Amino acid sequence: MISQTLRFSLQGRDFNMMWVAGCLATEGRIAEIYNLRAFDAAASAMMGIQTAGNAYSYPPHALFIAMPFAYLPLGLAFASWNVLTLGLFLYAARFHLPERLWLAGCAPASVICLSFGQYGLLTSALFLLAFRRSVLGGSGADD
């Protein structure tokens, strides 16, 4: 039990809450996502351990990102999230660090985002792409 709790606390913590929220949303249990007690109870049940009061702290429109991952088992969803967000981040960073792209992937912030499964690589990629006037970055201009 202690090793499971420690693993939950350190690896994938943010992603785990995103995955739980995605699962609840796909089951039509939207109201539970923003009710702290209900969400914590659901997270504890889904994770099989006491989650100690964690919450899904993102706005409702972020559920559209979380929901597809709910259709995968947690481990595969976490790995997929990291591959997709790191890939998009490296794609965006290649315009800014073409000869030292590995630096972007090894930066402490990147490692933290991968460890916890945070949205940071996704938002950083969109930010970098916006400077390229990329459609992916939201500016609507050609890439």
Q: What is the DSSP letter of 139?
A: S
Q: How far apart are the first and last CA of the chain?
A: 49
Task: Output the pTM of the full model.
Answer: 0.79
Query: Which pLDDT score is estimated for 124?
Result: 87
CA distances from 141 to 56, 85, 121, 134 (A): 33, 22, 22, 6
Residue pLDDT, tens place only, 79-127: 999 999 999 989 988 887 777 877 777 677 788 888 888 888 999 898 8
- What band does 34 get if pLDDT is binned at 50, 70 and 90? very high
Separation of alpha carbons 133 and 11, rounded Å: 34
Residue pLDDT, tens place only, 39-74: 888 988 888 776 667 788 889 999 999 999 999 999
Separation of alpha carbons 37 and 55, rounded Å: 9
Query: Which pLDDT score is estimated for 6?
Result: 42
Q: Do the beta carbons of residue 44 and residue 51 sit within 8 Å?
A: yes
- What band does 9 get if pLDDT is binned at 50, 70 and 90? very low
